[in-house]
Amino acid sequence: MPLNRREPEYQWKPLSHWVAATQDKDSLVRWRAARALGEIGPKAKTAVPMLTELLNDEDSMVRWTAARALGQIGPEAKAAVPILTELLKDERVRWTAVWTLGEIGPEAKTAVPALTTLLRDKDDEIRQTAASALGEIGREAKKAIPALTEIIQDTGNDLRKTATLRKAAAEALQKIKKEKK
């Protein structure tokens, strides 16, 4: 069977192969398909509906990898924002969901309230990643400015953790304000 050379490939298999594999009964095959689609990146934008479907997979590694793949696709994955926002409640994949929302950028503006709430999360990595994601969303995240400003002003007890979080918040504020013109 000749391959359509115009179709993006990963490991010598065309995009259509990987899209079809997202429907396989075997979770390992679905995981590999999501990983491959992520490696193809923005050229795999036609796979966004299938990857979005995988965000509801019973296997958390499939969900995690599908979320990551959507982030690798970037702004073209905007249709997944509502489900990614819901995944912020899933402890197993929420860090990746936060990161992915940042990679989608301004198109993820509907997630700003949920990401702003995560700035008060008990997990410092989640807080830092949420701050970074808000920065990537840019001026569409202007409602997060008060919460980000509060982080910058917090001196906290653990200076190393606080400094890292404060740096992420400062960078996010700079991006949000820089975008304003």
Band of residue 115 on the pLDDT scale cut at 50, 70, 90: very high
Q: Which pLDDT does position 160 carry in this prediction?
A: 61
Q: Strand pairing partners for 13?
A: 10
In this predicted model, what pLDDT tens digit does every residue of 17-58 receive, in sequence order? 999 999 999 999 999 999 999 999 999 999 999 999 999 999
Q: What pLDDT is recorded for position 159?
A: 59
Average pLDDT, integer, range 78-95: 96
Q: How many residues are given for the chain? A: 181
Q: Other C-beta atoms within 10 Å of 12: how many?
A: 7
Q: What's the pTM value of the predicted model, to 2 decimals?
A: 0.90
- Residue 28: how many other CB atoms lie within 10 Å: 11
Percent pLDDT > 90 in the chain is 79
More confident residue, 136 or 158: 136
Whether the per-residue pLDDT at 14 is higher than 70: the answer is yes
Q: Are 104 and 75 in contact (CB under 8 A)?
A: yes
Which domains are seen in the chain, by residue range?
A: 9-179 (1.25.10.10)
Q: Is-contact 78 107, C-beta < 8 A?
A: yes
pLDDT band at residue 158, thresholds of 50, 70 and 90? low
Nearest to 18 by CA among 3, 5, 31: 31
Mean pLDDT value across residues 104-130: 95
**Cα-only R_g, the chain:** 18
pLDDT value of residue 162: 76
Confidence grade of residue 180 (pLDDT, cut at 50, 70, 90): very low
